Structure 1
Amino acid sequence: MSETTHQRTTAGSPDSRPDRDLSRAELAARYGLSVSGARPSLADYFRQLWGRRHFILAFSQAKLSAQYSQAKLGQLWQVFTPLLNAFVYFVIFGLLLGGRGGMDMPEYIPFLVIGVFVFTFTQSSVLSGVKSISGNIGLVRALHFPRASLPVAFSLQQLQQLLYSMVVIAAVLVGFGHYPTLTWLLIVPALALQLVFNAGLALFFARWGSATPDLAQLMPFVLRTWMYASGVMFPLHYMVTHPDRANAPEWVADLLMCNPASVYMEVMRQALISGPSHQSLPGYFWLLAVGWALAIGIGGFVYFWKAEERYGRG
């Protein structure tokens, strides 16, 4: 077949048309091009995020080091801040308001310290997550990477901060007669589940915060309300149902106890405190800890991924 005949027989084929006659979509298909910044599939997105795990760890460590770089006491404020909060709550709720719920001081003080540190882990993850995109917009626009890396890195930063604080928590426990036992090993799965929960929650708020920067100003009030409703400073069941307190029905206390902040505090208290008030924790609390971690962790990841193309635009 001559060249002229071949050109006639293939003239009707789209692949034979010159580039100037093709649409943008056809040109992209011909040369294997894809949209810059297009959202990958969920599985590919997870693989990309896992591939950036070294960046996530390095970024979280850098943020942790820079957090108190301007203060003279430096990283010691990671421990001093929640300890000072615990002292204020002890004076107000433990002494002035009588909110110990029948616990003596050797049991109440570890109860309070654990509650403050564990809740601060979640609180700080949310506060840093809500600003993780809007507060790093230059990085988001300059580099191509899965944007979920940022809220996950901030949650990991808060975990590292809590791990440093565990030395102080252990010292408080031993100082008040709660010595290490095998149940202390339960803090490993407890913190792992809380990390997954916190990361999912940070992903939710990172998407909301990227679209509504003013959300960062509202969140401290929301988190303070959540703290009071979770039993950080007092035994929740006692304060809700006792006749001299709120005197509410049992189901109200049970419902409040099932909120995730309360769940993660209670499983940590059960693992670390040997007092009678903490050995009667229902076994379903661990099921709740797993359930909250899976629901919020997976839900937050999917919810954040759905808006991947919009971060840093506009």
Structure 2
Amino acid sequence: MSETTHDGGVALGGSPSSGEGLTAAELAAKYGLSVSGARPPLMEYVRQLWGRRHFILAFSQAKLTAQYSQAKLGQLWQVATPLLNAAVYYFIFGVLLKASRGMSHATYIPFLVIGVFVFTFTQSSVMAGVRAISGNLGLVRALHFPRASLPISFALQQLQQLLFSMIVVFVVTIGFGSYPGLSWLLIVPALVLQFLFNTGLALFLARMGARTPDLAQLMPFVLRTWMYVSGVMFSISGILAGRPEWFIRLMQANPAAVYMDLIRFALIDDYGRSHLPPHVWALAVFWAVAVFAGGFVYFWKAEERYGRG
């Protein structure tokens, strides 16, 4: 039997040894029970994610394999798509609009190819993040696991895709006269920092997209605008020559521009320090740490709400 307690709670009936006189909440606390799907403490959540690291990697690899499984060229589209985009941008911006001002032909083509591939890494991570929860509701509702596994695995999928595509970037760069040197090693920390930044963005947008699925329809317009102001097709310092110095530095501090310029600086011999903003590595670390940490905490705070409603 059950009876109402003096504080309005419901006491569970039974013998004293079984918890007679305790409310349901008190009885659950006594025996270590918790609400299904409750959000764990932050450090416990991190520990759970680390325990799922093999699932995160396997899920990202499976998604990468399945991405182009219906296309005859298969995984070659990972390289062909950004290369075709680069060809279109070269015709429009390099030939028609002369956006290559201040750069030779041999510098501008690898500059453009690197910009397209590196920005595509961020763009694809964002789009995958928006749909990470809303596009996988069956998995979210069927299985118990840290939901951050999904946006992290999608960002990891895009990193693997970029690493595969970097072979083409290297070929183009070498083909236009920039040969491997010690500076090429700088792409490793640059890509690690960009991956952290992309993962943070994916986490931010995964929570937002879970609540507002229509965000996935808006993001292509936001990303296209971001691309045009990030210097994918032109050098920011070159195109803004004559503008106030503070405005040029502000545009160069854009995180997408920071990571593109670091990789261009590493790979292209004629792309010197004059094209980089002051303290560029400090900016890269700041964007990576701030966005990743902020995105992770923001996503974790809504952990118990994903897949419900």
* Shorter-normalised TM range: over 0.9
Asked whether the equivalents of residues 115 and 232 of structure 2 are also in contact (C-alpha less than 8 Å), the reply is yes
Distance in structure 1 (CA, Å) of the matches to 2:43 and 2:68: 37
Distance in structure 2 (CA, Å) of the matches to 1:233 and 1:141: 43
Match of 1:136 in 2: 136
Match of 2:66 in 1: 66
The alignment status of 1:278 with 2:275, answered yes or no, reads: no
The alignment status of 1:115 with 2:110, answered yes or no, reads: no
Distance in structure 2 (CA, Å) of the matches to 1:148 and 1:170: 33
What letter is aligned with 1:45? Answer: Y
Match of 2:237 in 1: 237
Distance in structure 2 (CA, Å) of the matches to 1:282 and 1:291: 14
Deviates more, 1:149-158 or 1:251-260: 251-260
Asked whether the equivalents of residues 131 and 216 of structure 2 are also in contact (C-alpha less than 8 Å), the reply is yes
Match of 2:258 in 1: 263
What letter is aligned with 1:72? Answer: K
Distance in structure 1 (CA, Å) of the matches to 2:86 and 2:272: 19
Q: Compute the RMSD of aligned alpha carbons.
A: 1.5
Match of 1:80 in 2: 80
The alignment status of 1:251 with 2:258, answered yes or no, reads: no
Distance in structure 1 (CA, Å) of the matches to 2:234 and 2:102: 10
Task: Give the TM-score normalised by the residue count of structure 1.
Answer: 0.91
After TM superposition, give the deviation of residue 23 of structure 1 in Å. 1.3
Asked whether the equivalents of residues 255 and 284 of structure 2 are also in contact (C-alpha less than 8 Å), the reply is yes
Asked whether the equivalents of residues 125 and 198 of structure 1 are also in contact (C-alpha less than 8 Å), the reply is yes
Task: Give the TM-score normalised by the residue count of structure 2.
Answer: 0.93
Give the number of aligned pairs. Answer: 295
After TM superposition, give the deviation of residue 22 of structure 1 in Å. 2.5
After TM superposition, give the deviation of residue 18 of structure 1 in Å. 4.8
Asked whether the equivalents of residues 269 and 278 of structure 1 are also in contact (C-alpha less than 8 Å), the reply is no
Asked whether the equivalents of residues 127 and 216 of structure 1 are also in contact (C-alpha less than 8 Å), the reply is yes
Distance in structure 1 (CA, Å) of the matches to 2:20 and 2:240: 74
Asked whether the equivalents of residues 264 and 289 of structure 1 are also in contact (C-alpha less than 8 Å), the reply is yes
Distance in structure 2 (CA, Å) of the matches to 1:214 and 1:282: 36
CA deviation vs aligned residue, 1:55-96 (integer Å, no higher than 9, x gap):
000000000000000000000000000000000000000010
Asked whether the equivalents of residues 200 and 291 of structure 2 are also in contact (C-alpha less than 8 Å), the reply is yes
- Structure 1's 279 and 29: CA in aligned 2 closer, same or farther, altered over 3 A? closer
Match of 1:312 in 2: 307
After TM superposition, give the deviation of residue 282 of structure 1 in Å. 4.5
The alignment status of 1:125 with 2:120, answered yes or no, reads: no
After TM superposition, give the deviation of residue 102 of structure 1 in Å. 1.6
Percentage of matched positions with identical amino acids: 70
Asked whether the equivalents of residues 140 and 312 of structure 1 are also in contact (C-alpha less than 8 Å), the reply is yes
Distance in structure 1 (CA, Å) of the matches to 2:179 and 2:257: 24
5 Å-filtered alignment, 1:195-214, equals: 195-214=195-214
Distance in structure 1 (CA, Å) of the matches to 2:29 and 2:289: 39
After TM superposition, give the deviation of residue 251 of structure 1 in Å. 1.7
After TM superposition, give the deviation of residue 283 of structure 1 in Å. 5.2
Match of 2:166 in 1: 166
After TM superposition, give the deviation of residue 99 of structure 1 in Å. 0.4
Distance in structure 2 (CA, Å) of the matches to 1:18 and 1:118: 62
What letter is aligned with 1:288? Answer: L
